[in-house]
Structure formats: structure tokens, C-alpha cells
Structure 1
Amino acid sequence: MGLIIDNEEMCEKFKGLLEEKYFIDKSNIINDFNKLIEDESSKYVCITKPRRFGKTSITAMLVMYYSKSIDSKEIFDKLKVSKGKSSDNKEKKNEIKQYKEFQGKYHTLYLDFSSNVFSFKNLRSFISSINSKLKIDIEELNPNSKVLKNYDDDIVVNLKNLYLETDKKFILVIDEWDYIITNKKFTDKERYNYIYFLKYLIKDNSYLAFVYMTGITAITKYLYSLNCFTEYNILNDNQYYEYFGFTEDEVNELCEKNKNLSFKNLKSWYNGYKSYNGEKIFNTWSVIQALNSNIIENYWSQTGSFNELKKMINYDIVGVKEDILELINGNKIKVRLENYEVEVFRNESEDNEHVKEILYSKMVTFGYLTYYNGKISIPNKELKEEFIKALNDKESDLQYFYKMIKNSDEMLEVTLHKNVKRMCEILDKSPMEKVILEDKIDHAHLKRFIEYSYFNARTKYNIEEESPCGHGRADIIFRPKKKNKVNGEIIIIELKVNSKAKEAIKHIHRKKYYNGLKEKGYYGNILLIGINYDLKKVKYSCVIEEYNNNMKLLSTTELGAERKRSNELEINGENKRLKSSSSKP
């Protein structure tokens, strides 16, 4: 075992994976790859996926299985690959035959283009170091090799000579192929030279029996140079998707081993990615971390730069910030995505919609969004937390939304306690003119503002806008989720601009939005909430009326200022009435 040839580190890594409590056998991908070996039209495979979806684990397994100087028969005879995967008996027999034929048949070449790259002055010295490691391996494997006597500065020349000498082909496994492309350490010229080097190393070279390359970034932009590859990425992979990330069945299997964490909780936090055919996929890294610690929380921030997402959200592209808020709110956005390159974002000659598509394509590629059936969405709670954190940027006008979301737990609590004074204080903390990204503030904007003020309430309630009920459509109605459906409070909110909160309450009564709740299985008390925003005074007023399920009034709560104005109007009205009656003969 060596540094490049039959890499020892990758073999030890795979042995370590086998010993883990929550190991999932993904070895059937080898059955798929064995069918491609030495097939000139199919032997080049590039699979790109988001970070922490098990890409390196697959590369470690491939190195372990194919490497000639590693005795791995006993290990793989216990895994799925040894038994074949096809439902067709004839095909399965062929898979088992190929498994035995190719196991340990080849020397593998393992290259990780992210490994220790910063210790080198430039790309040339980095590639030169790979060639030097290859020489060390050849000396270990065959000290009398003629290649060593005339060892060339060109690694491809040395590999060709080694093949001519031994008549043995290699399997090339490349990890983090795109690291040099996406890293700012390297100049544009070095990146171009790197692509040329890959083409020189891989394309049309008879010393290669099979090439597997993986990373995060799709190779679409470079297909002219690397057009030998068949590429499978998160947007188009209908062949190998089940080997990257965990399927629902696999996570159920892991939960059976764990006993402490439920599948339901893991699903809400780490599921939501969609394969090409719609099958749900879990983030491997986060699931394993949660199972090992018995704690469900956000592990995504451990996998990459948090600033990366901030930067994407704050690109000065018209409509992106509004789209991000819609996504955070749980909505899906229709968009046409293609395999765009991801390191270049802005070309002033490109139209805005095209630039947005490039940005969203990057966010899908990096795993921040999922894409299925022509729509993008945030996959799960873990990623939603990342988006919400990314809003908290002092230089961004979206910071106010972050504060609203963070205050939304308290907003629901004080609402249920009918503390209208505190409700208005919370609303006043995020000035409407700062939150609304347009000049005009109207009823629709107020509704959007209130949605975010109650953002976290959706964990306990099904929140509907313009929901048909009674004799019209309620602005916002909160219906308790199944667990609290029978006794949980129902919240009906009506909004007004430049009016009065009491007028909003009257509107609810006129439209009887509360009709039919018992028939639908809701028996809890009903809170009718009227909220008014005064544009001139830049202030909120609020009234809450609480009823039981038979619509018997239990209490009325309103903000002091509103009550005072109401009392003043009643007193003035009474005085006018008395004055009018006293003046009559």
C-alpha cells in the first residue's frame, strides 16, 4: 500500500467505516461500476454531490476493493456486492462473476486535489509533488522497475511507461476534483492549466481501465475538455442517487439500532433532499452525528463556511432576497435550473432571470436547496436554521426579518396570554419601513410582516392565509396541529391599515370566519385578533376577543391607547347626545 498507488489511508478509512455502529452498506455501486470497466465509451464516471453526502466514503471503498496489493476478499465477501444486486438471475450471476474477477485485480491511483494544497507555492509544485509520491510507491512495489531509471518530470509519461512495462492497467479515483477550480488561492491561468492537466492525465490514455471522479461542482462548463466523462449530479442523477446520502429505509434501519431517536424527528430535520425521481434522501453526516450523540440539532454548520450562504443571499440580484424569504416561509419557487458553472455569478450582459438561475443552481449544488419537479425549496429544519442565521447580517436589510423570526416564539406566547401591549411592542421592534423592501406599505405588506412575526408558530399550528371560512376569506388563521387539535386555541387574525383594530374584529364577526370549526374537530377556545397599523403615527394597535367553542365571549383585551381613544369617543358621543337633548324644547 502506498501514497498514490493502492492508498493506505483510504483503506484504513474504509476499515474504520465498517466498524462504526451506524454503517450502511453501499457496496452495490461496485456492481454498477464493474460493468463499465475497460468499456471505452463508459469507463469515465463523474458523480458530484453536496458536501457530507458520503462521497469520500465511496472513494475509500473503491480503493479498498480494486487495489491489487490489498487483501480485501474477506471484507467484501460479507457485503452486498458479493451477492449481486439484479432481480434477474442471469444478470445476478454475471454480477457475482464480475465481483470475483475484479476484486483486487488492479492497482488503484488515488488523488485528492484538496489534500495539503496550501503548502505549495503554485499548482505546478503541487502536481510535481504527486509525481514524486508516485515514484516512492513504484520504488516500494517494484524497486527494479526500468521506469525508475529514467523517471520523468511528467507523471503521465511515467504512468504510460509503467503500463508498457507491466501490461497492467490502473483504476483512477479522484476526490475533490473541483477544489482547485473553486479556491481563490489559484489564478485563472492555473485553473485553466489544471483542467488541461486533468484532460492530459485521463482522456484517451490506455493505462486506465476505469476512472471515478467526485466533488461538489458539476463539470458542465469543462465538458469540452473533459467530454469523456458521463456526469451525474444532484440535478440529473437517476443512476447512482441511492448511494449518496441515506434513503428513508436506511434511516429507519439506523433508528432501529439507536432506539433513542425517532425516525419522525430525524426526517423533519435531515430529510427533504429529492433524487431525480423524487425519492427522499437524508444528509448522511447530520444523521450519523445525531445518532452518535442522541441529540437532534443543527450539524450543517460544521460542514462548511457559514459566510458562504450569507454571501449568496446578499448578492445584489433583483428578486433574490424576496425569493429567499418565501423559501424560509416554507414555500416552493418555480424555476428552471440547468447545470450552470458555479464559480462565476455575474455577467453584466446577462439578464437578471438567468443570473438568478445560476445562483439557485449553485445553492442546489452545494446542498442549501433541493430541486424537484421544476421547483426549489429548503430541504429541512436544519437548512432552514442556516438560512435564518444568514439573515443576521448587519450590512443586510434582511436582518430585521431575522429579529422578527427570533422574536416569534415570544410573539405567540404573549398572544396566547392576550398581552396586547407586549404584542405591539414586539411589532414595533421591527419598523415596517425597514422590513418591507418596497416604497408602498399596504394590507398585503402588513400581512407578510405579521407572518414573520409568528414564524415559529408553524411548529404548533397549520397557518393559512386567505383561507375560505364562514362568509369569506380570513387574512390569517391558525389551526392547531393534530396533537393539539381538540383543545388547542384557534387564532383568527384580521388586519387593517389606517383604521382601527376594533374594525378588524367587527369584520371577523360580519364574515363569521369562526363558523364550522367544531364540525372540523376543533373544540378549543377561539381568539379573534384585530391588528391595525397607523401609517402616520407608525404605531400598532391590537384587540383580542376570546370565545369558547360555542362563541360565548370570555374576555376582551385591547391596547391601553386604543381603549382610551375608544372611551374618549364614547364620552364625546354621550356628551353630544346630552347636549343635543338639553337644547330641545
Structure 2
Amino acid sequence: MRKYPIGLQDFGKIRKGGFLYIDKTRLIYNLIESGNYYFLSRPRRFGKSLLLSTIKEIFSGNKELFEGLWIHDQWNWAQIHPVIHLRLSKLDYQKLGLYEALNIEMGVLAKELGIELETNHLKGRFEELIRKASANGQVVILIDEYDKPITDYLEDLEKVEENRSVFKSLYSVLKDADEYIRLLLITGVSRFTKVSIFSDLNNLYDITLNPHYATLMGITQQELESDFREEISVLQQRQPDILQKLKEWYNGYSWDGTSKVYNPFSVLSYMGSGRIQNFWFQTGTPTWLVNLMRHNLEFDLENVQIGENALSSFNVEHIAPVPVLFQTGYLTIKSYDAETRLFELGYPNKEVEESLTDALLSAYRNVFPGNDSMAVTYDLGKALKNNDIPQMIKALDVLLSTIPYDHWKAESESIFHIIVHLSFKRLGLDIRSEVHSSTGRCDVLVFTDQYIFALELKLNGTAQAALDQIFDKGYLRSYQLDARKKIAIGINFSSEKRSVEEFLVKEVE
């Protein structure tokens, strides 16, 4: 059996242990030969730590680890550089505090390089470490998950500010260390702290959205079909359309709107198990992010347009969900309009869409996160596909029964509109909310193989008023040439009963 490096982030262990490694060394070579100061943001489990580990081994001159890889015959292995590899996730800053944890780590890094530090305070120790290490050649500084000590405390702004202040002081050392530095590469998930923490590093090149490095991490379609050729050949004997299934579930991430890559953790996990399943949920959707989306009544995340500045911004005092969803991998770039300089965002694949929809549906229904939304929504989808509207209404009542009373009072039709949308979305149905036409805006349109449903939702009104609105406003008129049957459904909810009070259905002739 092939050995898959699931969860492994150490390049040396992967190569010595005979684990599969997808050769990214040509892109790495281009990166380290083209510049000196970089910042790169990618979601978790996308290989940032492995990237830095690989670069560390290159500059440490460990040629034998690269046997058979592109860079093996392209690099001057005799030219060795000291490497300062700072991994923020391994520090015990939650117990010791960030300042003390970093201070201790400076001593650990110094010992690895055979250096004695005389300075006691953090800023001075970092400066001394760089200066003394450079006696053996210009230093390579690799900083992994720089943002973790901040993102861990997003609900504690006082701690955020404290840790940001520590970082600002630490990284200010780099401003005047140019003569000592061969390469500086800082990676993380979020880009929100870039301005405030690295304000002195005006030569830091952010390559997050650079097309040249769009496939530096992740697995391209070509790499999937080449590096997993044997596995795919076996899988296709059992399931001929497996490549299409893998693409739907795990591909779709893009940082330039053109090149697409698979989530490496999910692909490796699939190859290890041989079963299509959701591996992304194991990363855990941040509770604070789901709660923020619920507070803002955000739920429809397809075809989101955003400018580049907004996409990379993250104000901890006023967090906007969309940039965070992009930075954490729940949304990706679908396209880029060079004229308007607008990005269009959407879900990268079914795996991520399912994970976030589950989390949101649980939050809006006020049930414990992790409850199986598929089991709850299955009857709803089955009834709709069979045009069994009475059964669909019963399924809706089950879904709506957990909505807190204060939501019914405060949010008008929005709360059950959102739950209806998320429920159908969770089933993989083509659902569109608040669809604009020349005469109005339809609450919900659902498309199946045989039917087009227009749903108009009312709170404490009448089903007749809802149904009439569909016809008066002509919500289904633009689909009259479509061969599918068109069904209009007017639904009235009662805030007193907290259920569907009445509904009316009419097929469009």
C-alpha cells in the first residue's frame, strides 16, 4: 500500500518514511529565487507548515531528501544558510502568555543554531539571534501560523491587542535586519493583522492572490491524475465516474479565479479510506464565525462580489464575515473582473458547502452544532422532488419547531426564509433566494429535474396573499419556455403557533 502523509507536516519525515510527496519544488525554487520578503495566506490543512519545512531543508543543504524531485539538480547544495523556523502553533502562549512563550522559544532556536543569547528582553533576543546566526551566512526566517495567537482570542479584544502589541515589537526587529536576511516567509490563515503588525515591513510582498503561486499549495488536476494514477485506475474499475466525484467534493479552491486546486488533506484522507466523505468538518467551523453570520442574517453565499481591499481586510473590532470565510477556506475565488477589480466568491466544493450549511442550519434552528441536518431535511427534499407539497409542509414544521420564540418576534419572515433556504441547500438542490424580476422579488425559487417551485412566505398574513403575489408579480413568467412544470406555493406562518398556519398550491398553466 502507498503511504499517505495525512497530518504529517515535516518534509524530512515524509521523505525518510517513504510517504507520498507531490513535487512542488519547482514553484518553491521560483519563490525563493525571485524575492526575499514574503507573506502568504492559506486556509488550515493546506500545507503551509509542509511548505516551510521543505524550504528549511533546502537551505539546510539536505540534498539527499530531494532525490528524484525537480530541484535536486537545480540547487547549489553547498551553499548552506542558517534557518530560524518559528512555529507559533507549538508555543504554550495560552498558559505562559505570548511574550514569555516567545522569549523561551528564542532560547530554543538559539540552542538549535549553537548560539548563546545574552539579552533578556524579547525584542533584543530576536535581534541578537538573527545577528549572531548570520555569522554563518545570511539567515532564512520562516514564521508559521503567525496569526494563531490572535485568532484564538477574537472574542477577547483585550488579549488580541496585547498579543498584537507583542508581535509588532518583535517584528519591528526585521526592519533594520536586511543585511542579515536571505529570505523571510511569513504564513498564516488571516491577513487582518498585516497592516498593524508588519507596518514597519513595507517591503513585505503579499503573494496570497499572486497567480504565479496559485498552485504552490493544494493539488492540481494534473497532479491528482499523475501522482495518484495507480489508485485512480483501481477506483475507476469500481466507480467509472470517480474523477468527477472527486472534483465535485474536493476541488475548486482558487486564489486567482483561474487555477483550481484540491484540498490536499481531503484528497489524502480519501485515498486512505477509499470512501467519499466529509473530511473538512474535522477542522471545526469556528463558533464565533457562525454566530456572527447568524447575527447578521447572512446565509446565501453564492455569487458574492467583493473588492480586493475588502477581501483582505479584517478589523477585529468590526469583523466582516465574507473576508473571514474566504481566508478560512469556506469561500473561494470563482472569477475576477480586471476592469471593475471585483472578485466573485462562492463555495469551492460540496464538502465545504455541506460543512458550513450544516453549521448554519444548526445555529439558526438553535440546536447543538453537529446534529445531522441531512436526517432532518431528507423528508423535505424527498417531498419536494415528488411534488408532495403537504408532506413538504410537515417537514418544514419539524425544521421550524426549534426556532426560539424571540426570533419569531424580532426577525419577521427572515428566520424561516433562511431555514428554508439552508434546508434545500443542504440537500444539494438548486435554490435561489430573493430572485429579482422586472416586477418584484421572489422569496425562494427551487429547481429540480422535473419542477420549478416558486415559494412566497408570509408571517401572520394569509396563504392567499402569498400565492396571489407570485402570479401578480409574475415570478415564474421568465421560465415559461422551460419544459419543467411550474408550481406556485404560498405559505403563511403563525408567530403565535410557531408553525405553518396554512398553505396554497397552484400549478402554472
TM-score, scaled to structure 2: 0.73
Alignment of 1:47-446 (within 5 A): 47-68=40-61, 70=62, 72=63, 74-82=64-72, 96=74, 99=75, 101-102=76-77, 105-118=80-93, 121-139=96-114, 148=116, 151-153=118-120, 154-164=125-135, 166=136, 168-184=137-153, 188-201=161-174, 203-218=176-191, 219-233=194-208, 236-254=209-227, 256-259=229-232, 260=235, 262-304=242-284, 306-314=286-294, 316=295, 320-321=296-297, 324-327=298-301, 331-338=302-309, 340=312, 342=314, 344-346=316-318, 356=320, 359-371=321-333, 372-373=335-336, 374=342, 375-392=344-361, 407-415=376-384, 419-429=388-398, 430=400
The Cα shift of 1:467 comes to 11
After superposition, the Cα gap between the structure-2 partners of 1:405 and 1:220, relative to the gap in structure 1 and judged at 3 Å, is farther
Q: Deviations over 1:208-243 (max 9, x none)?
A: 22222212222233342222311222xx32231211
Q: 2:39 matched to which residue of 1?
A: 46
Supply the distance in 1 between the matched residues of 2:435 and 2:161 (Cα, whole angstroms). 52
Shift, 1:55, TM fit? 0.7
Query: Who is 2:12 aligned against?
Result: 12
Aligned residue identity for 1:363: L
- Number of aligned positions between the proteins: 462
Q: Quick one: structure 1 residues 155 and 413, their matched pair in 2 at CA, closer, same or farther if it must change by over 3 Å?
A: closer
In the aligned structure 2, how far is the partner of 1:34 from the partner of 1:130?
Answer: 25
What is the CA deviation profile of residues 94-128 of structure 1, one whole-angstrom value per residue up to 9, with x for unaligned ones?
A: xx3xx2x2565223222212213247623343233
Between the aligned partners of 1:529 and 1:242, the Cα distance in structure 2 is 46
Deviations 1:176-203 (Å, cap 9, x if unpaired)?
Answer: 2222333439563443132221221564
Q: Is the 8 A contact 1:397 1:434 kept in 2?
A: no
**Structure 1 residue matching 2:90: 3-state secondary structure:** coil
Name the CA distance, whole Å, in 2 between partners of 1:187 and 1:389: 29
TM-superposed CA distance for 1:286, in Å, is: 1.6
Determine if contact 2:140/2:183 at 8 Å carries over to the other structure: yes
Instruction: Give 1:207 deviation, angstroms.
Output: 2.6
Taking structure 1 as reference, are residues 171 and 504 closer, same or farther at Cα in structure 2, changes over 3 Å only?
A: closer
Cα distance, 1:299 vs structure 2:
1.5
Q: Distance in 2 between matches of 1:453 and 1:304?
A: 20
Classify 1:291/1:203 alpha carbon distance in 2 versus 1 (closer, same or farther; 3 Å). farther
* Unpaired segments ≥5 residues, structure 1: 1-8, 37-41, 84-95, 140-146, 347-354, 482-488, 552-585
Letter of the aligned partner of 2:70 in structure 1?
Answer: K
8 Å Cα contact 1:428/1:539 also seen in 2: no
CA contact (8 A) 1:368 1:383 kept: yes
Question: If the length of structure 1 is used for normalisation, what is the TM-score?
Answer: 0.65
Provide closer, same or farther for how the CA distance between residues 158 and 464 of structure 1 changes in structure 2, counting only shifts above 3 A.
closer
Structure 2 unmatched ranges of 5 or more: 1-8, 337-341
Matched, 1:30 2:2: no
CA contact (8 A) 2:290 2:359 kept: yes
Q: State how far apart, in whole Å, the 1-side matches of 2:443 and 2:225 are.
A: 40
CA deviations 1:352-390 (Å, max 9, x no partner) are: xxx64xx32222112222244333323222222222232
Q: Which amino acid in structure 2 is aligned with residue 334 of structure 1?
A: Q
Kindly tell me: are residues 157 and 516 of structure 1, through their superposed partners in 2, closer, same or farther at Cα, counting changes over 3 Å? closer
Mapped partners of 1:361, 1:26: distance in 2: 27
**d(CA) in 1 for partners of 2:105, 2:352:** 37
Three-state SS of the structure 1 residue aligned to 2:89 is coil
1:533 to 458, 479, 492: 492
- How far the C-alpha of 1:268 sits from its partner, in A, is 1.7
- Residues 119-143 of structure 1, C-alpha deviations (whole Å, 9 max, x = no match): 762334323323332443344xxxx
Paired with 2:108 and 2:375, the residues of 1 have a C-alpha distance of 52
Report if aligned partners of 1:45, 1:230 keep a CA contact under 8 Å in 2: yes
Structure 1 residues 109 and 264, CA, compared in 2 at 3 Å: closer, same or farther? same
Encode CA deviations 1:377-407: one digit per residue, 9 max, x unaligned.
Answer: 232222222222322556x57779x999864
CA distance in 1 between counterparts of 2:465 and 2:151 reads: 57
The one-letter code matched in structure 1 to 2:324 is K
The amino acid that maps onto 2:43 is: P
Classify 1:309/1:162 alpha carbon distance in 2 versus 1 (closer, same or farther; 3 Å). Answer: closer
Amino acid in the other structure paired with 1:48: S
User: Which residue number in structure 1 is paired with residue 6 of structure 2?
Assistant: none
1:177·1:213 contact (CA, 8 Å) conserved in 2? yes
Q: Are the aligned partners of 1:435 and 1:449 in contact in 2 as well (CA < 8 Å)?
A: no
SS in 2 for 1:281: coil
Shift of 1:452: 5.2
Rounded to whole Å, the distance in 2 between the matches of 1:192 and 1:451 is: 43
Which residue in the other structure is 2:339 paired with?
none
State the identity %. 18
Residues 1:75 and 1:467: Cα distance change in structure 2 (over 3 Å) = same
The 1-side partners of 2:463 and 2:263 are apart by 49
Q: CA 1:50 to 1:343, structure 2 compared with 1: closer, same or farther past 3 Å?
A: farther
Contact (CA 8 Å) 1:14, 1:64: kept in 2 or not? no
- Written as runs of structure 1 = structure 2, the 5 A alignment for 1:469-480 is 480=448
Q: 1:199 to 1:378 in 2, by over 3 A?
A: same
Change (3 A) 1:467 1:251: farther
* Change beyond 3 A, Cα 1:20–1:447: same
**Deviates most, 407-416 or 290-299:** 407-416
